[in-house]
Structure 1
Amino acid sequence: MEGLKGFLDQRGATQGMPNMQNIEKEIFEDEDVKAFLEQHKEELTPEAIRKGMSALLEFRMERDARKNNKEVKAPGLEPCLEVHNGFILVNYKRTEEAIREERERKRKRLIHSINMPKNIAEARFSDTALTPERQDVIGELLKFINSYKPNSTEYQKGLYLAGPFGVGKTYMMGALANELSENGVETTLVNVPTYSAEIKQAIATNTVEAKLVSIKNTPILVLDDIGAEMNSAWFRDEVLMVILQHRMLQELPTFFTSNFTIDQLEAHFAHSNKGDQELLKAKRLIERIRFLAKEYFVDGQNHRNPS
Structure 2
Amino acid sequence: MKKELDSLKKIINSSFNKNKYVLNNREIDFYKYHEYFIHLDLTDEEIYKNIVYLKKILFETEECAKKSNECINSFNMHLDLKRHMGNIYVYYKPCEKMNIILNKNKFKELYLYNYYDNSDLFESIITPESTEINTNPSKKEAAILFQNNFKNDANTGIYLYGKCGVGKTFMSFAFTKAYAKNKNKTISFVYMPEFVNIIKLGFNNNLDKEKGNKIFEISKSCDVLVLDDLGAEYATDWFYSNYLLNILNIRVAQKKITIFNSNYSINQFKQLLVKRCKSNDSMIICERIVERIKQLVNNSFIEITGKNMRY
Instruction: Mark yes or no: TM-score above 0.5.
Output: yes
Secondary structure at 2:261 match in 1: strand
CA contact (8 A) 2:18 2:52 kept: no
Runs of at least 5 residues in structure 2 that lack an aligned partner in the other structure: 1-9, 65-70, 83-87
Alpha-carbon distance, 1:250 to partner: 0.4
What is the aligned-residue RMSD (CA, Å)? 3.7
Alignment size in residue pairs: 269
Which residue number in structure 2 is paired with residue 123 of structure 1?
124
Alpha-carbon distance, 1:302 to partner: 3.0
Runs of at least 5 residues in structure 1 that lack an aligned partner in the other structure: 1-5, 14-19, 40-48, 83-87, 149-154
The answer to whether the aligner puts 1:23 opposite 2:17 as a matched pair is no
CA contact (8 A) 1:58 1:90 kept: no
Report the residue type matching 1:124 in the other structure: I
Which residue number in structure 1 is paired with residue 103 of structure 2?
103
What are the residue-to-residue correspondences of 1:77-156 with 2, within 5 Å? Answer: 77-80=77-80, 91-111=91-111, 114-116=114-116, 118-125=119-126, 126=130, 128-130=132-134, 131-148=136-153, 156=155
The answer to whether the aligner puts 1:178 opposite 2:182 as a matched pair is no
Report the residue type matching 2:57 in the other structure: R
Alpha-carbon distance, 1:34 to partner: 10
Report the residue type matching 2:147 in the other structure: L
Which residue number in structure 2 is paired with residue 46 of structure 1?
none
Residue 231 and residue 77 in structure 1: after superposition, are their counterparts in 2 closer, same or farther (change >3 A)? Answer: same
Report the Cα distance in structure 2 between the residues aligned to 1:163 and 1:8, rounded to whole angstroms.
Answer: 62
Residue 72 and residue 10 in structure 1: after superposition, are their counterparts in 2 closer, same or farther (change >3 A)? Answer: farther
CA contact (8 A) 2:237 2:279 kept: no
Residue 114 and residue 80 in structure 1: after superposition, are their counterparts in 2 closer, same or farther (change >3 A)? Answer: closer
The answer to whether the aligner puts 1:76 opposite 2:81 as a matched pair is no
Residue 7 and residue 200 in structure 1: after superposition, are their counterparts in 2 closer, same or farther (change >3 A)? Answer: same
Secondary structure at 2:78 match in 1: strand
Which residue number in structure 1 is paired with residue 161 of structure 2?
162
Which residue number in structure 2 is paired with residue 59 of structure 1?
53
Report the residue type matching 1:141 in the other structure: F
CA contact (8 A) 2:270 2:290 kept: yes
Q: Whose radius of gyration is greater, 1 or 2?
A: 1
Which residue number in structure 2 is paired with residue 152 of structure 1?
none
Q: 1:303 aligns with which of 281, 286, 308?
A: 308
Alpha-carbon distance, 1:288 to partner: 1.1
Residue 38 and residue 107 in structure 1: after superposition, are their counterparts in 2 closer, same or farther (change >3 A)? Answer: farther
The answer to whether the aligner puts 1:285 opposite 2:286 as a matched pair is no
Secondary structure at 1:251 match in 2: coil
Report the residue type matching 2:198 in the other structure: E
Which residue number in structure 1 is paired with residue 196 of structure 2?
196
